[in-house]
Amino acid sequence: MFENTDDVLARLSEQGYIADKSVATVVYLATKLEKPVLVEGPAGVGKTELAKVTATALGRKLIRLQCYEGLDEAKALYEWEYSKQLLYTQILKEKFTEAMAGATSVRDAAERIGREDSVFFSERFIVPRPLLTAITSDEPVLLLVDEVDKSDPEFEAFLLEVLSDYQVSVPEVGTFDAKQKPVVFLTSNDAREMSDALKRRCLHLWIDFPDAEQEVKILESKVPGVDQRLAEDLVELMQGLRKLDLKKAPSISETLDWARALLALNATELDEGLVQDTLNVILKYEGDIRKAQGELGRLLVRKSVPQEGEGAVAGPAEPAADAPAKPATPAKPGEPAPAAKKGRLH
Ligand SMILES: Nc1ncnc2c1ncn2[C@@H]1O[C@H](COP(=O)(O)OP(=O)(O)OP(=O)(O)O)[C@@H](O)[C@H]1O
Ligand SMILES: [Mg+2]
């Protein structure tokens, strides 16, 4: 387990996960108090990843239950293995015939077969699904109930039972108590509000988009090899894009995808042409792309003073660095992207 919140921060960072103090505090308390954590926040901010890296940091196996509409107990808890039961009845046919020998009526024969029920409804014929696997595991595990908001409210109620007692009961077999209490993470994208009962049982963690400093650190950790200046410019632009009223704000995953795309294009600087050409890596709706294109001029404000060792900025002379910012002209949709211009964001 973790020693304190600093230990959480250090061990998550060893896995390439850059957390802040509030995240580390909740993770520490969850393990210390043995309480599930409900992690909420926009898409792509690292909710699922947090559970994965915590499992690795704790040396626990990750057991994942992916939720969706219509998910039921059979898929989440256990199922009877019908084909195996059938196979056993075929193999044991003779024994059944023996058991039924001397039966005086159909009812009597059924009674005699019924006495053998427990053979077929025993642990031998149970297919454990993630929840039962997590409860019955001999090794300590981390259970991730991912995107719990996509499941139905009935499933949420059932989950509550499991989470309150760390216990599962199979009517024909009995009750399974957790041998080792699993560390539990639930994630939600807010597709629907979680019940108060669930919230009450969990520690709550809201992960928002990171600030620029943290996002640069994440970028450096996840995409080594990206030039620091490029990373800073890229993050600054992402932070600006998130302030626009977009249908789907770009998240950390898009920042990482974009950095990888720019690396693949051997880009060392962020210029307007390059941004125009690669906007589709970070924005997934045509309307968002058009809106961002319209704002690029404002977002991509350049410094005019050439950096040491750089050539002059292309285009007409630009004002001094401390002069009011002059917006760059965005390319019109459909037009070829303008030639790469040098310049820094600020
Ligand atoms: N703090 C972080 N440190 C390092 N990498 C991060 C961090 N946050 C997010 N990432 C990276 O961002 C990507 C998206 O993360 P993840 O899939 O966990 O997001 P999510 O919040 O679960 O999204 P969704 O709601 O769409 O499932 C992953 O590649 C992950 O490694
Ligand atoms: Mg996720």
Distance between Cα 211 and ligand 1 center (Å): 15
Domain termination site, one of 108, 125, 142: 125
Q: Domain check: are 338 and 270 in the same one?
A: yes
Residue where the block lists tokens 């924005």:
283
- Specify the number of domains making up the chain: 3
Distance between Cα 299 and ligand 2 center (Å): 29
Domain that holds residue 85: 78-125
* Residue 58: inside a domain: yes
Q: Domain check: are 191 and 178 in the same one?
A: yes
Q: Domain check: are 52 and 99 in the same one?
A: no
Q: Would you state the pLDDT for residue 329?
A: 41
Q: Would you state the pLDDT for residue 243?
A: 95
Q: Domain check: are 255 and 158 in the same one?
A: no
E strands present in 69-125: 78-80
* Atom number, ligand 1, closest to the C-alpha of residue 252: 12
pLDDT digit string, tens, across residues 244-257: 999 999 999 999 99
How far is C-alpha 157 from the geometric centre of its chain's CA atoms?
22
pLDDT digit string, tens, across residues 259-286: 999 999 999 888 889 999 999 999 999 9
Q: Domain check: are 238 and 283 in the same one?
A: yes
Q: Would you state the pLDDT for residue 97?
A: 82
Instruction: Identify the nearest ligand to the CA of 18 by its number.
Output: 1
- The CATH number of the domain holding residue 34 is 3.40.50.300
How far is C-alpha 57 from the geometric centre of its chain's CA atoms?
17
Closest CA to 301 of 320, 322, 326: 326
Q: Domain check: are 66 and 112 in the same one?
A: no
* Residue 272: inside a domain: yes
Q: Domain check: are 54 and 171 in the same one?
A: yes
pLDDT digit string, tens, across residues 112-128: 888 877 788 888 999 99
* Atom number, ligand 1, closest to the C-alpha of residue 49: 18
Q: Would you state the pLDDT for residue 182?
A: 96
CA 122 to each of CA 6, 117, 126, 153, 173: distance values in angstroms, whole numbers, following the listed order: 46, 9, 7, 30, 6
* Residue 243: inside a domain: yes
* Residue 314: inside a domain: no
Q: Domain check: are 340 and 246 in the same one?
A: yes
Q: Would you state the pLDDT for residue 92?
A: 84
Q: Tokens for 23, please give them.
A: 């995240």
**Which residue's CA lies nearest to atom 16 of ligand 1?**
46
Regions of the chain with pLDDT less than 50: 302-307, 309-346
Distance between Cα 50 and ligand 1 center (Å): 8
* Residue 283: inside a domain: yes
| Residue ranges lining ligand 1, Cβ < 6 Å | 16-19, 43-49, 187, 189, 218, 221-222, 252-253, 256
* Atom number, ligand 1, closest to the C-alpha of residue 43: 25
Q: Domain check: are 265 and 299 in the same one?
A: yes
Q: Domain check: are 29 and 60 in the same one?
A: yes
Q: Cα–Cα–Cα angle for 297, 303, 309, nearest 5°?
A: 130
**Which residue's CA lies nearest to atom 26 of ligand 1?**
43
Q: Which of 62, 235, 252, 282 to mutate to test the pocket of ligand 1 (most atoms within 8 A of CB)?
A: 252
Q: Which of 27, 39, 253 to mutate to test the pocket of ligand 1 (most atoms within 8 A of CB)?
A: 253
Residue 145: how many CB atoms within 10 A of its CB?
28
| Dist CA 274 CA 296 (whole Å) | 12
Q: Domain check: are 116 and 248 in the same one?
A: no
Q: Would you state the pLDDT for residue 342?
A: 39
Domain termination site, one of 206, 221, 253: 206
**Which residue's CA lies nearest to atom 10 of ligand 1?**
46
* Residue 313: inside a domain: no
Q: Domain check: are 32 and 159 in the same one?
A: yes
Domain termination site, one of 206, 221, 249: 206
pTM of the model: 0.83
Bridge partners of 210? Answer: none
* Residue 160: inside a domain: yes
